[in-house]
């Protein structure tokens, strides 16, 4: 089994090392996205979308590969695997931890961007309501969490 783990650690190390620069690039794109959203630079925002999708696809493929490798080696949970990696392949554990930190940063930046986008949608909606003369209408929430004015509320049959 040690021989199998040697191949496992080698394969894991390869995917982790490939994902480090990709994840760093994703974080950079997310930071650019934040600036574009804050400045309402939608042309810049659109230029970011395609590369971001490609990076996410690549990361997803590697995550699937890692999951398959771990399952084939008999590992069932991440904490056990990480414990084994620390004992048998510290370089893998270090890369894994570094990548985990980057992923966490990406998640935080994505959450910030999502809040900015939601706020922008709300402000634009309020402006459109004001233009339409509907700015005094109370706002209700749909089952999906979106807001709507009472003038646009559902009929009793869709309740």
Say which CATH number the domain at 66 has: 1.20.58.300
Residue 133 is assigned to a structural domain of this protein: no
Give pLDDT tens digits for 87-106.
999 999 999 999 999 999 99
User: What does the pLDDT read at residue 104?
Assistant: 97
Torsion sign over Cα 93, 98, 102, 107: positive
Instruction: Give the residue numbers spanning the domain of 104.
Output: 2-115
Which residues, at least 6 apart from 126, have a Cβ–Cβ distance to it below 8 Å?
135
Residue 16 is assigned to a structural domain of this protein: yes
- Written as six digits, the tokens of 127 are 């402006």
CA 78 to CA 63: how far, in whole Å?
12
- What backbone phi and psi angles, to 5 degrees, belong to 136? -100, 5
Quick one: DSSP state of residue 29? H
Residue 28 is assigned to a structural domain of this protein: yes
Give pLDDT tens digits for 21-48.
999 999 999 999 999 999 999 899 999 9
Number of structural domains the chain divides into? 1
Most confident residue range from 22-26, 39-43, 113-117, 125-129: 22-26
Q: At which residue do the structure tokens 């894991």 appear?
A: 12
Residue 21 is assigned to a structural domain of this protein: yes
Residue 141 β-bridge partners: 147
- Written as six digits, the tokens of 120 are 């922008």
Confidence of residue 78 (pLDDT cuts 50, 70, 90): confident
């Amino acid at each position: 089994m040690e021989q199998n783990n040697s191949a496992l650690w080698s394969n894991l190390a390869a995917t982790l090392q490939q994902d480090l620069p990709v994840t760093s690039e994703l974080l950079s794109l997310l930071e650019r996205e934040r600036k574009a959203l804050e400045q309402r630079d939608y042309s810049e925002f659109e230029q970011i979308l395609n590369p971001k999708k490609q990076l996410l696809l690549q990361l997803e493929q590697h995550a699937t590969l890692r999951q398959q490798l771990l399952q084939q080696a008999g590992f069932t949970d991440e904490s056990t695997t990480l414990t084994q990696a620390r004992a048998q392949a510290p370089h893998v554990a270090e890369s894994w931890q570094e990548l985990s930190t980057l992923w966490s940063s990406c998640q935080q930046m994505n959450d910030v961007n999502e809040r900015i986008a939601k706020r922008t949608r709300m402000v634009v909606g309020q402006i459109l309501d004001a233009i339409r003369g509907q700015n005094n209408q109370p706002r209700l929430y749909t089952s999906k969490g979106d807001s709507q004015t009472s003038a646009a509320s559902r009929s009793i049959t869709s309740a």
